[in-house]
Chains A and B, each alone.
Chain A
Amino acid sequence: EVQLVESGAGLVQPGGSLRLSCAASGFTFSDYDMHWVRQVTGKGLEWVSVIGTAGDTYFPDSIKGRFTISRENAKSSFHLQMDSLRAGDTAVYYCARGARGVAYVVFDYWGLGTLVTVSS
Chain B
Amino acid sequence: DIQMTQSPSSLSASVGDRVTITCRASQNINSYLNWYQQKPGKAPKLLIYGASRLQSGVPSRFSGSGSGTDFTLTISSLQPEDFATYFCQQSYTTPSPTFGGGTKVEIK
Q: Which residues of A contact B (CB under 8 A)?
A: 4, 33, 43-47, 50, 58, 60, 94, 96, 99, 102-113
Query: Number of A-B pairs whose CB atoms are under 8 Å?
Result: 64
Q: Are A44 and B102 in contact (CB under 8 A)?
A: yes
Q: Are A107 and B36 in contact (CB under 8 A)?
A: yes
Q: Are A99 and B87 in contact (CB under 8 A)?
A: no
Prevailing SS type, chain B contact patch: loop
Known pairs A107-B36, A107-B44, A111-B43; list 17 more (Cβ under 8 Å): A33-B95, A44-B99, A45-B44, A45-B89, A47-B98, A47-B99, A60-B96, A99-B46, A104-B32, A104-B94, A105-B95, A106-B91, A107-B89, A109-B43, A109-B46, A110-B44, A113-B43
Q: List 7 A-B contacts (CB under 8 A).
A: A45-B87, A50-B95, A105-B97, A107-B34, A110-B45, A111-B43, A113-B43
* B64 CB–A CB distance under 8 Å: no
Q: Are B99 and A105 in contact (CB under 8 A)?
A: no
Q: Are B101 and A44 in contact (CB under 8 A)?
A: yes
| B-chain residues with CB within 8 Å of residue A106 when the two chains form the complex | 34, 46, 49-50, 91
